[in-house]
Amino acid sequence: MRYDIYLPVLRLQPYVKHLVISESGDEVQTYRVLPDTALVVGFQYRGSLSVEHQGQQQLLQRSGITGLLHGYRTFCSAPRTGTVLVMFTETGAAHFTRLPLHELFEQSTALLNCFNTAEISSLEDRLNTARHDRELLRLVQSFLLSQLIERPADKLVTGALGIIHQCKGTVRIVALAQMLNTSASPLEKRFRAMVGASPKKFANIVRARHTLMAIEQNRLPLAEQLLAYYDQAHFIKDFKQFSSYTPEQYLAMVRRRKQS
């Protein structure tokens, strides 16, 4: 399996963190994807991909978008499946569709539901016949540039994102709104539309990712500090939904892995 990361063209860099060309091997592969802080678009130019849903494998469309997730997802790729992934910045996807992004929360849907059907079909056909990575990247980025919606950055949302990351997700939403000289209601409305989740759910994702990283890096004081934040029992439940493990189980697994 290969997973090659590419920087986008300069015009897309405010909106796209990077692009990925991923190809599976000669056998069926199953893998787990943990929640991240931005939406992802995928274009399959070869093979097929499915996601586990209620114990069943659900075949995904050739071109799709996945909103922010509250829990991990298990994917299965057919042999030699090839995909171009677009990893947006946290507010980047809002510059390519007028659909309120919170409607995609916990959803994976076909791009046909968000963009012009004929344009998506044409792009899929051209990706199918592309001969090398450079051509795949050119086609996807040309499509994105054709869909780019010029709109000013929402400074309120940008400020909220900065504080949430600085606090590693340990901030109460009322306090967050006060820091930004606003109230919780307008902050939540604008944040959900631009980012794809409420500030609280987004902060939970950030805190879970920092906790997981702290455990993996053996920075136990930081992990304990994040776990000790308010509503510990609720967060432990969220962490298990996030990773399929409790923090204690994950720590034990990491320790066993390092000892082996």
Please report which confidence band the pLDDT of residue 221 belongs to, taking 50, 70 and 90 as the band edges. confident
142 and 176, same domain (yes or no)? no
Answer with the one of 147, 174, 204 that is the final residue of a domain.
Answer: 147
Please report which confidence band the pLDDT of residue 230 belongs to, taking 50, 70 and 90 as the band edges. low
Determine contact, residues 74/51, Cβ cutoff 8 Å: yes
Please report which confidence band the pLDDT of residue 76 belongs to, taking 50, 70 and 90 as the band edges. very high
What pLDDT, on the 0 to 100 scale, is given for residue 98?
A: 85
250 and 162, same domain (yes or no)? yes
Please report which confidence band the pLDDT of residue 231 belongs to, taking 50, 70 and 90 as the band edges. low
136 and 251, same domain (yes or no)? no
7 and 134, same domain (yes or no)? yes
129 and 204, same domain (yes or no)? no
Average pLDDT rounded to a whole number, residues 158-177: 95
Percent of the chain with pLDDT over 90: 67
Answer with the one of 116, 147, 178 that is the final residue of a domain.
Answer: 147
Average pLDDT rounded to a whole number, residues 48-64: 88
245 and 213, same domain (yes or no)? yes
The half-sphere exposure of 125 on its side-chain side, counting CA atoms within 13 A, is 6
What pLDDT, on the 0 to 100 scale, is given for residue 194?
A: 95
Question: CA 64 to CA 55: how far, in whole Å?
Answer: 21
Average pLDDT rounded to a whole number, residues 119-129: 96
23 and 127, same domain (yes or no)? yes
Average pLDDT rounded to a whole number, residues 40-45: 96
228 and 163, same domain (yes or no)? yes
Q: How many domains are there within the chain?
A: 2
Count of CB atoms situated within 10 Å of the CB of 30 = 11
Answer with the one of 129, 147, 165 that is the final residue of a domain.
Answer: 147
Q: What single string gives the DSSP state of each residue in 68-84?
A: --SS-EEEEE-TT-EEE
Domain of 230, CATH number, reads 1.10.10.60
**Domain of 31, in residue numbers:** 2-147
Determine contact, residues 181/156, Cβ cutoff 8 Å: no
Q: Which residue in this structure is represented by tokens 């569709």?
A: 97
Kindly tell me if the per-residue pLDDT of 219 is higher than 80: yes
Kindly tell me if the per-residue pLDDT of 257 is higher than 80: no
Please report which confidence band the pLDDT of residue 229 belongs to, taking 50, 70 and 90 as the band edges. low
Kindly tell me if the per-residue pLDDT of 252 is higher than 90: no
What pLDDT, on the 0 to 100 scale, is given for residue 188?
A: 96
Domain of 131, CATH number, reads 2.60.120
123 and 73, same domain (yes or no)? yes
What pLDDT, on the 0 to 100 scale, is given for residue 124?
A: 96
63 and 10, same domain (yes or no)? yes
pLDDT in tens, 87-97: 999 999 999 99
Kindly tell me if the per-residue pLDDT of 101 is higher than 70: yes
What pLDDT, on the 0 to 100 scale, is given for residue 111?
A: 94
**Structure token pair of residue 22:** 């991923």
56 and 123, same domain (yes or no)? yes
Give 80 or 232, the one with higher predicted confidence.
80
Average pLDDT rounded to a whole number, residues 180-199: 96
247 and 190, same domain (yes or no)? yes
pTM (whole model) above 0.75: yes
